[in-house]
Each structure stands twice: as C-alpha cells, then as structure tokens.
Structure 1
Amino acid sequence: MGPPELSPLFRPLEVRSLTLANRIVMSPMTRSYSTAGVPGLDVADYYRRRAEGGTGLIVTEGVAIDHPSAVDDPNVPLLRGQSALAGWRQVTEAVHDAGGKIIPQLWHVGPLWGAMGKVDPAVKQMRPSGVWGTLGTTSYSDEYVAWAQRATEPMTDQDIADVIAAFARAAANAMEVGFDGVALHGGHGYLLDSFLWAGTNKRDDAWGGDLERRTRFPAEVVKAIRAEVGDEVPIIYRFSQHKQQDYTAQIAKTPEELGFLLGALVDAGVDILDASIRRFDLPAFEGSQLSLAGWAKKVTGAITMAVGSVGIGKSLRDSRIDGMAPPLDNIAALERRMTDGEFDLIAIGRLHLADPGLARTLREGLPLPVFDRARHEGALH
C-alpha cells in the first residue's frame, strides 16, 4: 500500500451531516452477544476498540426493528425497549468518545425467519407472497429448507403498513440514542430484498409484478425513515444480487434493470448504496470488469460501498464449506479501483474481527492480519 496521503483509503468523505476521516468501514456482522436483545458493556467495548483503531465508520450487526417476526435469534440486539436503548446509548457514547462514527443496520429477516433459531408458530412470518424463494445453491440444511418451503399467508396491506411503521420507529430510536445515521439490510433474501426479487415477490397488486412495483415497498420504507430522521441524516442501503435461498440469484439481469431498481431507492432518500457480494472485485455483468458497487455508482451517480473478501483468499461461505485459504493481499488492487472512482467506500468484515486496529494497520503498511475462523468468527474480541 502507498503512503497514507496518497491512498484513496484515507481520504475524508462527507455525507450529509456525517464526516468520515477515511473510507474504511466496518461491515455489519451478526455477533449474537446481546442477551435478550440488550447490548451490554462487552458489546460497547467491542465497537469502541474498532473506533480506537481508526476505522472511519462502524456499521453495527443487524438490529431487530420493532416487529414480532423481525429476527429469530434472541441474542441479536433490539432497537426498541428501555433496556436495549440504554445499552445502545452506552455503545454510541463509547464509540464517540474514541473519535468514531457508528450507524445501526436495521433488520427484518422476512422469508428467512426460522433460519437462526426456533420460532413461535403463532407469530406470522412476513413474506411478500407466502413463498420462501426459488431454491438454488444454498448453504442451509435440508431440514430447514424443507420446513421453510411450506407456503404461508402473503403479507396483507396492513402487514406492509405495520412493517414500514416499525422501520420508522427504529430509525427514530436510533436518533434518540445517538447514532450517526441509519443503515438498512436490503439484501441476501431478507424482507426488503424479498420484494425486489421475483423469486419471492409474485404479487400482482401495487406491491409486486413488474420492476417498478417490486421497488415500491423498500422505497416506501426509505421514505418513511427519511421523513422520520430529517434531511441531515445519512441513509445507507445494503443490496445484493445473491440470495441465501440461491447464491446464483439476481434481482437485475442487466445494468439497466439495476439502475431502475437502485434509482428508486436513491430517489426515496438513500445516500450510500452498499453493494454486497462475496468478492469486492467480481464483475457484475458480462462484458465488463466493473464490480457491483461500480455499476451501482455508474447507473445512479450515488456514493457506493464495496465489500467482500478484502485480504482474504475465500468468501465466507466458501471457507465454511472448504476451509480457510491463505491470506490474500489485494489491497493494491482495491486502491486502484478506488483511485479510478469505481466506488467510494470499502466495507471490511473478517479482518476487523481479527484486528480491531485494522485501519491503523493499513495506514502504517503493516502485514495484513490473519483471520482464523475458529478464533474470530464467533468471538467478541
């Protein structure tokens, strides 16, 4: 890596009221250390250490919105209730005291309800059309897939209104406890994504059918959040082509379709498009080396963020199946893409687990940390 003053990783960035010291983002990663949904001092210390290490922006693990079927893991943090909100105040204060910036990723798992734990059968699962999704390449167990593929009741108009309101309440709570913006998990087959994907959205009403109607629900969620938080607060939206139901799935077959879908979200109030793929440098469409984040920037003009296997030889899914690969120093390739303006931010997950001071490590040109799945994946270092 070149000198910090020449590296695109260490250029500041302003997004509405948010000023970032550099372009390095801690990617959201489920940790499941918030007992009964309440983040404790250990969670605050975990995020504080990354802020002390110089990371420009921390995006938290997925946080459950105020809805009964939002998240099915009791140790995933909530963004509702006095105890959880008090816990998050400790987190934001710790990060801010360390000079960092932090944004929560609001989460509703939608069709993937039940994938992380046992669920109450009396609670209605939120699926646009009552289907789990078109089954393809997946890492889920046969037992879960068989259970999940049963048909359920499609979301009603009242269900849709309730979830939109729940996202808005969560955004308001995020502002109350001192977060610096709002992020939405709109990828991987979860609820927001399930409206975009034809494999889960088979509706023929105002909420589904053609591309325009499939964008309506996530766009309305963004609009509700923008109305709640005002004009100065940045909104990040994570999207993906792949789904956990099928890693080969796509929401957009062409750059034009991608531009239509993402343009609706930007028009609704999204500031940063977080393009989630398994490797940040994978070409998104045939005939071009441009990544998904690169195409998102090209077709919308928005600020975009790439993610996926920075400093690591295999994607997380592949490493779980085939074992870890040796570290891969792809920082120079990352910097070239950012220097060329392909995307604006880089989200890094696993190396942040291995090294809380990752930003300092990169700034000083030290050897990349080695991610050890056995040591780092399930621990709160």
Structure 2
Amino acid sequence: MKKENKQSLAVIFMATLCTLQISSVCAQIRTDSLKRGISRYTDRNFSELRTVNLHWEVMPSYNYTLKHSDRDFEKGKMETSRNVKFQTTIPVFRSGKFSLYANGNIDYYHFEVNPNDDKPSELFTEKENDRLYMKGGLALNYYATLFGKPLLLSVSAGIDGWEKGVEQFQGGFMANLLLKQTHKNSVSIGLYAMYPYQITPVVPIVIWTHRLNPNWILDFTLPSRMYVRYQRGKHRLSAGTQMETEQFYMQAPTKYMNASRQEGTSTYYYNRSMFKAELVYECILNKRFYFIARGGGAGTITGGLYDTDRKGTGNKPFVEISHSVAPFFNVGFSYSIFR
C-alpha cells in the first residue's frame, strides 16, 4: 500500500473515532437555551448518544480474507456476525460554566466462520468467537465564547478493557465553536485530538444542518456521516451514509506480532472501520423513549489486529482483515432523561 493511501486511511480512521467523541461531548451540553437546542439536536440525530442506548445488529453471510506480510493466509465465509451494544452518558456535576459527565460502553460480539480449506480459523476459533469490550470515562466541559460565538472546550479521560482486565488509558481534548444557529441553518466547527491515536494528532470536524422545509432536513457531520431526513409527527426516515468502528481485544498467535516466536498467543487490539450506506427509521414512543431500525450495506475501509498500545493504528496492521460488502440490520431502543 502506498504511503499516501496509508495516510488517507489514517485520517478516515481518526475522523470516525473523533466524530463520535465530539458528538458525545455535544450530547452533554444541557444548561442554557442554546445548549438545550444542541441537546435536542443531538438526541434527534445521534441515537447512540442518548442517556441510555441498547441495540442489536446482525450481518448475515459474507466473504472475508485474512492477510499477513502482504500474503493471504486465510479465506472463508463469515456465516453470521452479531453484536449487542449498551451505552450510557450520565450527568455527575454541573456548576456555572463547568459540567462533568460519566460515560460507559459494554459491547458484545459473536462470530461464526467457515474457512474455505475446512481447517479451523486461526483467529475466529471456538474459544475466540465471543468477545466482550468495555470502556468507561469522564468528560469535563467548559462553556465560553470566542469572537462573540459560543465555544465548548472539553477534556476527557477513561480506560478500556475486556473480561481479562484493563488495557489502555485514553485521553482527548476538543474545541467546538458554534458559528451560526437559525431556524433553517446550524453550523459549527471543531478540532479534536485523542491519545493514544498518534497518526493524525488533530482532526477537523464540521457539523451542518439545513432545513429545506418543515419536513425535510439535510444533516451532515463531516467527514463521518451524511443524511437526508424526512420527519412527520413522531416518525422519521433517513437515508445516507456513515462510518462506524468495531473494536475489542483478543488472543491470537504471537507469530503475527513477532516472527521469531512461532508458539504461544498474545493479546491484540482488533479494530475495523466500516462504511455503511443505510436507511434509518426512528419512532418517538413518548417524550423520552425512541425506537430505531437501520438496514443497508457495509464495507470495510480498513481493519485488522494491532498492538494494544495503538501506536500503529491507522497504518498497516499485523493481520489485515477485509470482507465483501455485507448486508446488515440493526434494531434498538434509547432513552433520554432530557427533553
């Protein structure tokens, strides 16, 4: 892979992660009328970032390829992959211009594979086809102004891990400036930096919404998601694209990390960035509960096994994982304590 292609993938990878993080911080803005407006926007457009969110997703049968040192060593069919994700964001403290929020994730993944050569898969073994990923942390926000425009500054810190223990400290810093907010348009720009993803130190974010008429809205969070939305009453239908990541820790042969050691296993960080084209149906069950159904096709942007320190994340992994475009279906419920 050419150097410029690797850098492009790194930017995409970082953009996916930091857009979710910046959106998560925006979901925590709850104090004055402007902040409540952003809160309502976030509740409306980022279902996974409401106070409590639970969803289940399935990807039926698709082909996959595992590659190490630029050579394919396993091909097969993923008979099914499923995941269940629980997310929460809870207010802890708020005083004046400061607010503190706690957030947590528990993600469960299940894979069923069928290698083409009828040999057991080296990665998706019977012992390793169920994975659990957990993450928790705190975000401290400060509300200010810059050039007369509302400015949000946020510092976050947390840890992640799995059933075998804690793995990695994570930290981030975000600045988000609201440039314009009217009945028809809203524009904000931001910068986000996250540790330990060191490939691209700072990534720009642009959030833009435009109301075409009372029912139709253009909703872009660049560079990770773009939607055209139609809403009537308590029902909304959206068509568009977004980037998502799945991540967890797993045991795999040490030889992929260290060629001189052909025996034993080591802990790897698995990450896959996906591009999803989808239709989304949402229903407001009442003032606080939402039902969401999503479906479409997903393709891999970049993915594989990395060292747990993440320093190479976004560049070439120890083991590269790719798959054909796969259909997916996702259903979920979410709850917001804010209205």
Q: Is TM (by shorter chain) over 0.5? A: no
Give the structure with the higher percent strand: 2
Normalised to the residue count of structure 1, the TM-score between the two structures is: 0.29
Normalised to the residue count of structure 2, the TM-score between the two structures is: 0.31
Largest Rg, 1 or 2:
2
